[in-house]
Homo-oligomer: A and B are copies of this chain.
C-alpha cells in the first residue's frame, strides 16, 4: 500500500509513449481504441487484464482527450471502442485498488471523474461528440466510461453486456459517476437501477435498451458501421472547422529542483515544515497583438494556454505527489493591464475554435482547483496582477487576503484587483455559476452592479467593499494576521478541512457534476475506508483469492 503512495506520478505524456490506447483519425471521425497492456501497470503487483485500467491508463486517456481537442480541430466525433476482441473493458483494476491506500484510491477516482466530465464537456462545448461502441463485456468503470459519452451502441450477442458489479463483487460503489449518470443523466428508473447495480452478470440485449442502459443494440457485424454512421451524422452537425490546423501540444517544460517546481509562467515553492505550497503565477510582460492569427501562430506559447497547461499539471502533481502539503497559497506578479488585454482577446474571439478550447481548458483547470482537497488562500500584495482570469484564483480561494496600502520600505503602488469580462461567466464552476455569482448568492444583483466596474483597478478598500476579498490588513497587521491564518490552517485536521471545504465551496445549484463530486464521491470515500471493503476480510481485499469476504452486518 505504501508503495502506491510513495511513487511520483508524472501526468505528462504523448502519443509516442502510449501503451494502452490507439487513436486513428479518418476525416471528421476519430476512433479511440482501448488496448490495455497487461504488463503496463504503473506499479508492480497487478496485471491489467481484460482492459482493466489503473491511473497510468487514465493519464493516457486524458492526454488523448486533450490532443483531440487541440491538435485536431477537424475531428468532430470520437468513437470509443475496445481494440480487444472479446472484452470492452473490465473497469478499474481490482488488484490495484486492493493494494492501494485510501488516499491513492480517492485521488485516482477524482482524476478519472475529471476526465469523464471533460469528455462530456468535449461533446457539449467543443462539439467533438463522443460515442461508444460496446463490443464485448463492459463492466464497472468500463461502463462508467461509456456513460460519459453521448450515445452508447452495444453488440447484440451472447457475450456482450453492461454491468456495474461493484456492490455485489467488491463491496464498493461504482464511484466514477456511474450511479449519478444512471439515474440523472440517463434517467434510468431507480428501482431498475437498484436491480442492475446488484447484478454481477449485467444486462444485455433488449432489456438494456428498454431500461435505457444503452441507446441501441445492433448485431455485432453491424456495430462498427452503425456507430460510424452515427458519428458522421453528429460530426455533420458540429461547428468545428474541417480545414483548420491544430495546435501541437509540445512537451510541457517543467523543472523540479528540490522543493521548487518551475514552469514558464508558474512557480511553486514547497515549505514542507509548514505544509504549504507557495505558488506564483506571472502575467506576461507585454500585451498581445489583437489578432487571432497570432494566437494560432503562438500555439502553446500563447500565455493563457501556457498558463492552463502549467496550472493543470501543477495541481495534478501536488494533489498526487505531495499529499502532506495541505495549503496552497496563490500569488500573482505582473501588470493587470496586460492580463486585461489577454482577457479581451479571449472575450472577443470566443467563436474561434482555438480560443474556445483555451477558455474551456482554463475553465476545467479552475474547476480542478475547486475540487482539490487542499485549502487555498490567495495573497494580494503590491506588484500582483489579480485581474480577470487571474482574479479567478482569488475568487476561487477559500480566503483572499489583500494588503491595504503600501509596505514600509516598498515604494510600489498599493495592490489592486481588476475585474474583466472573463469573470462574468467564461469560467463557470461545477455548479454552473461563475465564481462571482456563487459568491453573491445572497444578492445576485451585485454581480450586475460589478459589471460597471470592469477594467477599474480596485484598491483594498474598494475590493473589500465590492466583496471580492476576505480581509484587508495593512502593513502593521499583515504579517501576523497572514502568518497566524496559515499556521492555524496547517494545524487543523486535513480530513475535517476537506469535508468543510467540499461543503462550503459549492453553494447554490447542483448539477450532475456537483452530485458526482459531492454525494457520490463522499459516499465512495466513506465506503473506501470501511472494513467491509478494505479490511483483511473485506471484499476488495479477498477478491480473486478464493477466500470469502466477511462483513460486519450492522447498518449505520
Contact = CB atoms under 8 A, between A and B. Distances in A.
A492 B499 CA distance: 28
A524 interface: yes
Interface centre among A170, A526, A549, A555 (most CB of B within 10 A): A555
A173 B503 contact: yes
Given A470-B195, A508-B184, A522-B518, A493 B171 contact: yes
A528 to B, nearest CB: 9
B212 A500 contact: no
A197 B180 CA distance: 30
Interface stretch (A153-161, A258-266, A418-426, A437-445): A437-445
Given A173-B503, A507-B187, A522-B523, A554 B167 contact: no
A488 B520 CA distance: 23
A40 interface: no
Nearest to A438: B190
Given A179-B503, A503-B520, A523-B522, A556 B498 contact: yes
A376 to B, nearest CB: 10
Contacts of A499: 173, 523-524, 526-527
Contact of A532 (B188, B494, B505, B508): B494
Interface in A507-543: 507-510, 515, 518-520, 522-527, 529-530, 532-533, 539
Interface string A182-225: 11101111111111011000000000000010000000000000
Contacts of A180: 503
Nearest to A107: B556
Contacts of A509: 510
Given A503-B179, A518-B522, A103 B556 contact: yes
Given A194-B399, A554-B103, A523 B508 contact: no
Nearest to A517: B519
Interface in A1-33: 5
Given A179-B504, A504-B190, A526-B526, A171 B495 contact: yes
B532 A495 contact: yes
Interface residues of A, number: 92
B553 A496 contact: no
Contact of A555 (B103, B500, B549): B103
B496 A193 contact: no
A181 B168 CA distance: 36
A38 interface: no
A531 to B, nearest CB: 9
Interface in A449-504: 467, 470-471, 488-489, 492-504
Contact of A167 (B179, B438, B493): B493
A102 interface: yes
Given A326-B553, A519-B518, A504 B107 contact: no
A523 B518 CA distance: 8
Contacts of A494: 532, 551-556
A457 to B, nearest CB: 21
A471 B195 CA distance: 10
Given A495-B530, A500-B167, A556 B441 contact: no
Contact of A495 (B168, B324, B501, B556): B556
Contacts of A183: 441, 503-504, 507
Interface in A304-325: 323-325
Contacts of A440: 189
Given A103-B554, A183-B504, A191-B397, 20 more contacts: A103-B555, A171-B493, A182-B504, A184-B441, A190-B439, A191-B399, A194-B398, A194-B399, A194-B500, A275-B553, A493-B549, A493-B551, A494-B532, A494-B551, A494-B554, A496-B533, A499-B524, A499-B526, A525-B556, A529-B529
13 contacts: A107-B556, A179-B503, A184-B508, A187-B507, A190-B507, A374-B555, A495-B527, A498-B555, A499-B526, A518-B522, A525-B526, A525-B556, A526-B526
